[in-house]
Amino acid sequence: MRIVVFGVGAIGGVIAGALADAGHEVAGIARGTQLSAVRDHGLKLYSHNRHITAHIDCVVHPSALKPRPDDILFLCTKSQDTAAALIALREAGYRNQPVFCAQNGVANERMALRAFPHVHGVTVMMPASCLTPGEVTIYSQPRFGIFELGRFPHGIDSDDERMAAILDSANIAGFALEHVMDSKYGKLRMNLSNILEALLGVGANFGNFPKLLREEADDALAAARIRWVDVGRNDPRRAAMLNMTEVAGRPRVGCSTTQSLRKSSGSVETDYLNGEISLIGRMHGVPTPLNDFVVSVAQKVARDREQAGSWTLEQLATAYDAFVNG
């Protein structure tokens, strides 16, 4: 069995590096400087007490891997890159292999199910960053993260149970979950403030915006009769498995959206986070003006390659007033 990680960034990098270090066969799909760095120097993982260098087979397109029937696919791209990743996998000859969507948002599983019959959701709780090519930093201990896995739209099968055990062997706590999308909607709700951090900066005052974003989401989810479960600090597993920690010489740079702006990637995943709430609200007649607003702002700052943390709370409030009143 081989685990193929499509998108060797922060989350994909931890998955690929930790599993390889634990003795599992891993292949990665990456591009640009990340691909070159992993090929030339290995994939380097840093945590508060460990430094891992994993050497994995890393390619630019899945066709270079020669698909195997027993491959297990992990999608770790940003949601805006999922459609292209699925096309590449099908072009490479993948058909019936299980696909695990270790991604934020709730749209990836549905996209994947159009192309593959065995799709699994993964709720990812893993504070990690990847700004330097080939290097990933993990800011939690004693586990690298907590993953919840289950078939989409619901159920557990042997692949979920097998992957939970494999992840556990690599210091990632894995749990097979009957209704994994309830968990993923809970994570979506948490991620609604990602764009605020990206705009205002890590540790900045976000004012009342996080509360208002969640309230809009709760109204939209309730109208759609979509269930969600809290995966935040109230989860008792976090105290035992997922404590935030510093890594010497590697300060935490923020959430995935902040990292995208810092890398000037030209896109962010806000369309699939706050934009998901906008979509649900529009489908069920629930207004979501603040989520609509931050989606429009995210598109602009990504397109213009604005720096993370370049906005002030006052600027954001003024822009929102103009958005709702203009």
Q: What Rg do the C-alpha atoms of the chain give, in angstroms?
A: 19
pLDDT-based confidence at 238, cuts 50/70/90? confident
Distance (Å, rounded) from C-alpha 290 to C-alpha 321?
10
- Concatenating the DSSP letter of every residue in 70-82 gives TEEEEE-S-GGGH
User: 102-111, 237-246, 257-266 — which is least confidently predicted?
Assistant: 237-246
Residue pLDDT, tens place only, 224-236: 999 999 998 788 8
Considering only the top CATH level, what class is 2-325? alpha beta
The token pair that represents 310 in the structure block:
């370049």
Residue pLDDT, tens place only, 3-62: 999 999 999 999 999 999 999 999 999 999 999 999 999 999 999 999 999 999 999 999
Taking a C-beta distance cutoff of 8 angstroms, is the pair 13, 37 a contact? no
Residue pLDDT, tens place only, 154-203: 999 999 999 999 999 999 999 999 999 999 999 999 999 999 999 999 99
Domain ranges for the chain, please list them.
2-325
At how many degrees (to 10) do helices 289-303 and 313-325 cross? 120
Taking a C-beta distance cutoff of 8 angstroms, is the pair 302, 265 a contact? yes
- Stated as kind and residue range, the H or E segment containing 173 is strand 172-176
Instruction: Tell me the average pLDDT of the chain.
Output: 96
Segment 115-134 shows an average pLDDT of 97
- Concatenating the DSSP letter of every residue in 214-272 gives HHHHHHHHHHTT------STT-HHHHHHEEE---TT-----SHHHHHHHTT-S--GGGG
Q: What is the pLDDT of residue 95?
A: 96
Closest CA to 190 of 273, 271, 130: 273
Q: Is the pLDDT of residue 2 over 80?
A: yes
Distance (Å, rounded) from C-alpha 43 to C-alpha 55?
6
pLDDT-based confidence at 239, cuts 50/70/90? confident
Distance (Å, rounded) from C-alpha 184 to C-alpha 149?
10
Segment 69-79 shows an average pLDDT of 97
SS3 57: strand
CA distances from 41 to 48, 59, 60, 65, 76 (A): 21, 14, 16, 20, 21
Q: What is the pLDDT of residue 235?
A: 81
Cα-Cα-Cα-Cα dihedral sign, residues 244, 137, 192, 161: negative
SS3 100: strand
Q: What is the pLDDT of residue 232?
A: 82
Q: Which amino acid is at 49?
A: N
Taking a C-beta distance cutoff of 8 angstroms, is the pair 173, 241 a contact? yes
Taking a C-beta distance cutoff of 8 angstroms, is the pair 121, 101 a contact? yes
Instruction: Report whether the peptide linkage leading into residue 210 is cis, meaning its omega lies within 30 degrees of zero.
Output: no
Q: How many Cα atoms within 13 Å fall on the side-chain side of residue 186?
A: 19
